[in-house]
Amino acid sequence: MPRTLSFAELPSSVKRHLSACSLLLLAACGGTALPVIVPPAPVPVPQGEIAADELRRDLYAFAADSMRGRETGTEDADRAARFLVSRVQRLGLEPAGDSLYVQRVPLQRESFSPTSRVVVHDQGGVSTLKIGVDVVPLIALGPGVPPPKRTADGLIVFAGYGLPASKNRRDDLAGLDLAGKVVVVVNGAPRGADSATRVAAEAETAVSERLARILPMRPSAVVVLLMGKAAEGYQQLATQLSRGVSLATNTEDLADYERPLPMILLGVPKDGSPLLPPGWPADDRPQEMNSRLIARVEPRREAFTGFNIVAVVRGSDPTLRNTFVAYGAHYDHIGVVAPVNGDSIANGADDDGSGSMSLLAIARMLQQSPEKPKRSTLFVWHIGEEKGLLGSSWFVDHPTVPIDSIVAQLNADMIGRNAASVLYTVGPRAAPNGQSRRLGAVVDSVNAAQASPFAIDRSWDSATHVEHIYERSDHFNYARKGIPIVFFTTGMHDDYHAPSDEPAKIDFEKMARVARLMRDVGVAVGNSAKRPR
């Protein structure tokens, strides 16, 4: 049989034509009509080791204000996709999407119709709660979780802070009849609580803990009023929820009687709110209120196409080159948000511009290497991570290479901040069935051999960690397919999901060190005859 030419062996004129087709596909399949694409000015391809200057150049372009935060479902995300296609084409990587470098991801925008209403009837009359300002309905709770109801009608019961009994603290739910009622609970702590109790009670994860206590009591709806850190991000959260995105589905919408969960609304506690006792916050006792909440939420959906960007550096071994070490990052962010000090563009330099640009640098190094790893290297830049890990969910369920040919996945998300010597790894302990432990051992061995090894922080590497970090980035979807994973991150900071997450705050020397470590781990796995299981 004649041997099939690899992409690398194609004439350069053919490569340029195919890559131009990828860019045209991005324009043709976008959710809206896109302007004529002006090819970017040529960018010199760096040579040599991954260095801070290379990463700085790329990240300042990728996280520029002109990208407008790269929100999934906008032209800004499509522009970021074209940026990545242009770069991997220039590097000469092999296309590995379903349409050259892109994998089309069927998505849908979600918003609330003008007929959606949330009103409170009390002795003073009728108060209308504005959706997206006063309250935000949750229309989906994540993969595998049934959707909440879209209608609610019930007497309001204020359940205080919804906390269980402990030393010197009451059980806020004790003695309350919540069946068929609308339960209002404050995601916070009573006055006088110590700082540790307050931080735990105000955490975003405490919302699910309260819901776990309340939902079995069969309420008509639950209203969670956020305090503390969660309240600080409420307006941003409200904006994001009111322009949500999900994977498109052909399944018929469920009627309310088929939805087992009550309506769930989020808000913030405000003085004079009809959802709170008149004496709040001095009066924070659980109590039945002489009022009724009636709500109907009608989502609107609009189909569009998002894009994962997928490319390969082909391995050197005739057999092992049919298996893959996968690198992943997400190129989307949260877009334009409420202004902070006059700045409304959430640039996402660290989240996850740092991971996306590091993958480009790793791909360049491997493509330029005269000695390729024995296994092939798969690069996937995912869309829709910020909307619920959508791109990675689609990729692992509709892989463009056989899913069982992926021997490991290395995920980079937020790798450019905080103490220069510290790096978090997640997965070796948190992933089920010990499936990532051997890969974690490879990371530790390769890190120890670095000129400047990182101090590995494993405090987040737990499936039961309060912040659930293991479940919050794209590696999670690969892990659920049984693929060994390691998630590399340099941790949270005050600029997370804020307009202040800008390139000027990135430690590019540290970012380069993380990229080099990830590259070396991938090469070690790529040259091993055995899978890291």
Instruction: Find out whether 269 and 132 touch, Cβ atoms under 8 Å.
Output: no
Which CA distances in Å does 512 have to 291, 416, 489? 58, 9, 13
Query: Radius of gyration (Cα) for the chain, nearest Å?
Result: 25
Instruction: Find out whether 194 and 154 touch, Cβ atoms under 8 Å.
Output: no
> Which amino acid would we find at residue 251?
T
Instruction: Find out whether 174 and 300 touch, Cβ atoms under 8 Å.
Output: no
Strands 324-330 and 406-412: parallel
d(CA 222, CA 243): 22
Q: Residue 431: exposed, middle, or buried by beta-carbon count in 10 A (0-12, 13-18, 19+)?
A: buried
Three-state SS sequence of 119-169: EEEECCEEEEECECCCEEECCCCCCCCCCECCEEEEEEEECCCCCCCECCE
Which CA distances in Å does 97 have to 30, 242, 401? 16, 31, 9
State the DSSP string of 45-68. Answer: PP-SS--HHHHHHHHHHHTSGGGT
Instruction: Find out whether 346 and 501 touch, Cβ atoms under 8 Å.
Output: yes
Residue 329, beta-bridge partner list: 381
Instruction: Find out whether 114 and 51 touch, Cβ atoms under 8 Å.
Output: no
User: What are the structure tokens assigned to 263, written together?
Assistant: 């309506």
DSSP H stretches of helix in 409-459: 437-448
Which CA distances in Å does 1 have to 5, 10, 74? 12, 19, 46
Q: What is the pLDDT along the chain (533 residues), one digit of tens a residue?
A: 434 344 444 444 444 444 545 554 565 554 433 333 344 556 677 888 999 999 999 999 999 999 999 999 999 999 999 999 999 999 999 999 999 999 999 999 988 899 999 999 998 899 999 998 999 998 877 767 888 999 999 999 999 999 888 766 778 999 999 999 999 999 999 888 888 888 888 888 889 889 999 999 999 999 999 998 888 778 777 877 778 899 998 777 889 999 999 999 999 999 999 999 999 999 999 999 999 999 999 988 899 999 999 999 999 999 999 999 999 999 999 999 889 999 999 999 999 999 999 999 999 999 999 999 999 999 999 999 999 999 999 999 999 999 999 999 999 999 999 999 999 999 999 999 999 999 999 999 999 999 999 999 999 999 999 788 999 999 999 999 999 999 999 999 999 999 999 999 999 999 999 999 999 999 999 999 999 98
Domains of the chain, start order: 7-107+304-527 (3.40.630.10), 114-297 (3.50.30.30)
pLDDT in tens, 47-87: 889 999 999 999 999 999 999 999 999 999 999 999 999 99
Q: Give the list of residues 6+ apart from residue 144 with CB closer than 8 angstroms, or none.
A: none
- Quick one: DSSP state of residue 99? B
User: What are the structure tokens assigned to 424, written together?
Assistant: 């978090």
Angle at 314 between CA 312 and CA 319, to 5 degrees: 130
Instruction: Find out whether 481 and 328 touch, Cβ atoms under 8 Å.
Output: no
User: What are the structure tokens assigned to 373, written together?
Assistant: 């790893």
Instruction: Find out whether 188 and 163 touch, Cβ atoms under 8 Å.
Output: no
* Backbone φ and ψ of 181, nearest 5°: -95, 165
pLDDT in tens, 134-161: 999 988 777 678 889 999 999 999 999 9
User: What are the structure tokens assigned to 170, written together?
Assistant: 């009451």
d(CA 403, CA 345): 37
Q: Which helix (H) or strand (E) holds 214?
A: helix 205-214
Q: Could you count the other beta carbons within 10 Å of the beta carbon of residue 287?
A: 14
